[in-house]
Amino acid sequence: MIRQKITPVLWFDNNAEAAVNFYIALFENSRITGITRYGDAAPGPKGDVMSIGFELAGQTFAAINGGPSFTFSPAVSFFIHCDTQAEIDHFWDKLLPGGAPQQCGWITDRFGLVWQVNYTGVIEMLQDPDPVRADRVMQAMMPMTKIEIAKLKAAYEGA
């Protein structure tokens, strides 16, 4: 098994275990790979979760209960590549409760983590060598909260 060279580590106040359980239930091919608990010499309450190793869709992550010193921001987000509107709807409906919708398919979930729930093909559309086509897609996407693939495709085709 090849291990990723870089592992994203997510800093939570004190709810890393709840967040990880939520995320692994959301994505296929996901699991907890290990849990470290505070011991006698650790800075947290003995027995509480200090860190959790986990996989989301086969990618390695870690989460720590680091306290309230740091919070998430949209400066770092996770792009979920969706092939269908049903897939966008699924992730949107699961991530939104307790969170907040943002522009262009972005969601801040109930744990404060920021996700981009978007159509896989949008990247190719925005990188089209025809700047008119790319601009139409951007103009269609900017006012959206939840992404609507049909509207992106119509803008791309000039319909």
Q: Report in angstroms the alpha-carbon separations of 97 from 23, 26, 43, 101.
A: 13, 13, 32, 10
Query: With a threshold of 0.85, does the pTM exceed it?
Result: yes
- 16 vs 70: CA distance, rounded Å: 13
Residue 126: its pLDDT value, please?
97
**Cα 141–72–86 angle (5° rounding)?**
40
Helix (H) or strand (E) holding 12: strand 9-12
The beta-strand segments (E) located in 15-149 are: 31-37, 49-56, 59-65, 78-82, 100-101, 106-108, 114-119
Helix (H) or strand (E) holding 128: none
Give me the residues paired with residue 118 across strands. Answer: 81
The percentage of residues in the chain with a pLDDT greater than 90, rounded to a whole number, is: 91
- Mean pLDDT across the chain: 95
pLDDT > 90? residue 142:
yes
**Cα 68–70–75 angle (5° rounding)?**
145
